[in-house]
Structure 1
């Protein structure tokens, strides 16, 4: 019976530690831990697409809060749908969501994770803006008017 004591204690400790872990990228114990996400968006742009079929959108979402949040979907009145894509190596694939880490940022940029606007209502011209709305698991949606830049624009 004595053997059950240490094993039970180890199991209980594992459950306690798992409960304290929060999400991926969460801070440890201390001031601000567990504070809600505080999201802001910067650097948003869409390079002028060659056709009205699809366009890529790029931006950075910063989270100054104490807990992770998750980008769960994106909508736009200018497109039939908007997909969240992740690029690993030379492979691009649609994903259901991307994490915005506490105290960090999610960069959606050329060659990496990005947004794909599918079935555009019209091909936007350089200087136009395209409305998009970012939806999150925890935070309120963020609405943006994303500027259309030259096709070779890199965000810098």
Structure 2
């Protein structure tokens, strides 16, 4: 009887150890990892329209969990919408993903912000304040310098 009990006890102990390992791995992926977001390379080309402008920036996530950009606010516009570019056509989306350990690049010709219902037309040399809102992280404030209408960044995008 001892021989049967020992293998059974070992099997149970092994199963419990594996279950414990699996449980802690699952928990650490969800609970201990957090996004660590920062924004940079921000700019707005001076708008050619009196009521609409575009904005570009990079959100970097140095954390172990993904997040999503869910909305943007700015005192310069009635609303700021988030757009994804698919096959050369832009479409408004509810959010854009920011991968763990990765970044979200909003750039000319790609995903971007649209400032609609401008309260005043931003001029080159001014700075536009925006606040980025995320699904899991605290808001991030960004100062976005207004650049010439044809400005093309050489780094960061």
TM surpasses 0.5: yes
1:51 and 2:21 correspond: no
Q: Which residue is 2:76 aligned to? A: 78
Unmatched segments (≥5 aa) in structure 2: 1-21
One of 138, 141, 144 as aligned partner of 1:140: 138
Distance in 2 between residues matched to 1:60 and 1:146, nearest whole Å = 11
Higher helix share: 2
1:122-148 C-alpha deviation (Å, 9 max, x unpaired) = 111100011110000111101112100
Distance in 2 between residues matched to 1:103 and 1:76, nearest whole Å = 27
Higher Cα Rg, which structure: 2
Per the TM alignment, residue 34 of structure 1 is displaced from its structure 2 partner at its CA by: 4.3
Structure 1 outlier segments of 4+, above 3 Å: none
Q: Which residue is 1:8 aligned to? A: none
Length-normalised TM-score, structure 1: 0.78
Distance in 1 between residues matched to 2:78 and 2:105, nearest whole Å = 24
Per the TM alignment, residue 51 of structure 1 is displaced from its structure 2 partner at its CA by: 2.0
Distance in 2 between residues matched to 1:46 and 1:94, nearest whole Å = 18
1:87 and 2:85 correspond: yes
RMSD of equivalent CA atoms: 2.3
Distance in 2 between residues matched to 1:88 and 1:103, nearest whole Å = 24
Structure 2 SS opposite 1:132: strand
Per the TM alignment, residue 52 of structure 1 is displaced from its structure 2 partner at its CA by: 2.0
Distance in 2 between residues matched to 1:122 and 1:39, nearest whole Å = 30
Length-normalised TM-score, structure 2: 0.78
Distance in 1 between residues matched to 2:136 and 2:75, nearest whole Å = 23
* Alignment coverage as a number of residue pairs: 132
Q: Which residue is 1:10 aligned to? A: none
One of 82, 97, 115 as aligned partner of 1:117: 115
